Chains A and B, each alone.
Chain A
Amino acid sequence: MKYQFQFGDVFAAWPLLLQGTWTTIQLSLSAMLLGLVVAIACAWGKTSGPVFVRWIINAYIEVIRNTPFLVQLFFFFFALPSLGLRWTAHTAALTAMVVNLGAYATEIIRAGIESIPRGQIEAGLALSLKGYEVFRFVILKPALKAIYPALTSQFILLMLSSAVVSAISADDLTSVAANLQSQTFRSFEIYIVVAAIYLVLAIAFSALFRAVYRWTLNYPDRR
């Protein structure tokens, strides 16, 4: 092999890479939080809303889960502005991520909600908790605990698929890499380093989720 690896240009650009990494972290964290809110609302609607609400939520889930994220992103970035909506690549990317995660997480949380035994809900009502209190304390929290691993691996998949938003130049880590690549032509070195950063991020996020579990959901189960 004659090729000389030259990582100099890559490491010289570390402030840019750091900036991109930070953008990716910010995008992912905001999308996780907003997506979780969307998903809890939709899961609630799907398990106890009126029929037409269930129908709309089902359509949303099926459309999002059966089309690629890249196409959804193009839709938000190119198609919606043609209807007169003005927004930046960053906002379009965040919206696409929230909408995408919302659909997947709804199904996960719904499964958790359906795993709550009927008697537990009746016990909550018998204690004269109000409807939303039953949902908040008796249904939602144990449901989240039950599906926590599936939910957090979906979060990590979302963080990884956020690399795709570079296709609309949303200044995330992969966009920074693509820009560096066109300036220095050290594409292989750059993408190796960036892939390694994503791997570290994935490991760090899963450590973070374990810590969050210990802080919030680590109470003994009665089974």
Chain B
Amino acid sequence: MRTFGWPEFLFILEAARWTIALSLIAFAGGAIGGLAIALARTSDSRMLQTLSSGFVQIFQGTPLLLQLFLIFFGAPVLGFDINPWLAAGIALILNTSAFLGEIWRGTIQAVPVGQWEAAEALGLHYVARMRDVILPQAFKIALPPTVGYMVQVIKGTSLAAIIGFAEVTRAGQIINNATFQPLLVFGVVAAIYFALCWPLSLLAARMERRRAAALAR
């Protein structure tokens, strides 16, 4: 039987790059999807509102794990080839889109209504109004919760371990099965996640405090 040593530690640590890669993919895709959802939710079109709120309801109302399973097991049924990479990426992008979309809808609606009216009074059409007036202001409000949500995205990637994607948690399981030293192995796994997430949490809290201080002035 192997014991937990330097090579085992490196095996888990190296798997962290897949956790990071998957998080970045989920966040980048989720940011695009989330912007679309937020714009649809705040649009004037009844149909876009219904569709986007249905999307959000479904992805916020079902477990991420089930979304992952549905894509992983469902894609072959619909005739697509799929691997754990693709399934995890798609599931996380869709899930992140729903959550970021809801966060950003809130921040778009938090822009004072006078700004909307002023933009309209200046004769700005939708694209200019959003791009030059509303979204820059919403962006400032959205930054702290968005950074905070990145922590959720990183933690969410751990579920990809269940469908066999070899990121940190899966690497931990593999090493644990070989060494039977769960306390050490999962301690290391938890420490790696903590090292990834904690700086982001601190940054989000700091930005939140700064914003609160700026508003209080």
Interface, chain A (partner B; CB < 8 A): 1-3, 62-63, 65-72, 74-75, 78-80, 82-83, 160-164, 166-167, 174, 177, 181, 187-188, 191-192, 194-195, 198-199, 202-203
Of B81-89, B103-111, B168-176, the segment with at least 4 beta carbons within 8 Å of chain A is: B168-176
Q: Which of A72, A79, A181 contacts B183 (CB 8 A)?
A: A79
Could you tell me if A202 and B61 are in contact, using CB atoms closer than 8 angstroms?
yes
Question: In angstroms, how far is the closest chain B Cβ from the Cβ of A8?
Answer: 16
With a cutoff of 8 Å between Cβ atoms, the chain A residues found around residue B176 in the complex are: 74, 78
Q: Which of B61, B69, B169, B183 contacts A203 (CB 8 A)?
A: B61
When C-beta atoms are compared, the residue in chain B nearest to A83 turns out to be B183
Main secondary structure of the interface of A (DSSP, over half): helix
With a cutoff of 8 Å between Cβ atoms, the chain A residues found around residue B169 in the complex are: 68, 70-71, 74
Could you tell me if B78 and A1 are in contact, using CB atoms closer than 8 angstroms?
yes
With a cutoff of 8 Å between Cβ atoms, the chain B residues found around residue A78 in the complex are: 176, 182, 186
With a cutoff of 8 Å between Cβ atoms, the chain A residues found around residue B20 in the complex are: none
Top 3 closest pairs, chain A to chain B, by CB: A163-B63, A78-B182, A68-B158
Interface, chain B (partner A; CB < 8 A): 57-58, 60-67, 69-70, 73-74, 77-79, 151, 155-156, 158-159, 161-162, 169, 172-173, 176, 180-183, 185-187, 189-190, 193-194, 197-198, 201
When C-beta atoms are compared, the residue in chain B nearest to A165 turns out to be B65
Could you tell me if A82 and B182 are in contact, using CB atoms closer than 8 angstroms?
yes
Could you tell me if A188 and B63 are in contact, using CB atoms closer than 8 angstroms?
no
When C-beta atoms are compared, the residue in chain B nearest to A202 turns out to be B61
Question: In angstroms, how far is the closest chain A Cβ from the Cβ of B216?
Answer: 15
Alpha-carbon separation in the docked complex, A208 to B78 (Å)? 37
Q: Which of B67, B155, B158, B181 contacts A195 (CB 8 A)?
A: B67
Alpha-carbon separation in the docked complex, A91 to B69 (Å)? 25
Could you tell me if A66 and B151 are in contact, using CB atoms closer than 8 angstroms?
yes
When C-beta atoms are compared, the residue in chain B nearest to A80 turns out to be B183
With a cutoff of 8 Å between Cβ atoms, the chain A residues found around residue B162 in the complex are: 70, 164, 167
Alpha-carbon separation in the docked complex, A167 to B163 (Å)? 10
Could you tell me if A166 and B61 are in contact, using CB atoms closer than 8 angstroms?
no
Could you tell me if B61 and A70 are in contact, using CB atoms closer than 8 angstroms?
no
Alpha-carbon separation in the docked complex, A210 to B61 (Å)? 17
Could you tell me if B193 and A188 are in contact, using CB atoms closer than 8 angstroms?
no
A174 and B74 in contact (CB under 8 A), knowing A65-B201, A66-B151, A66-B198?
Answer: no
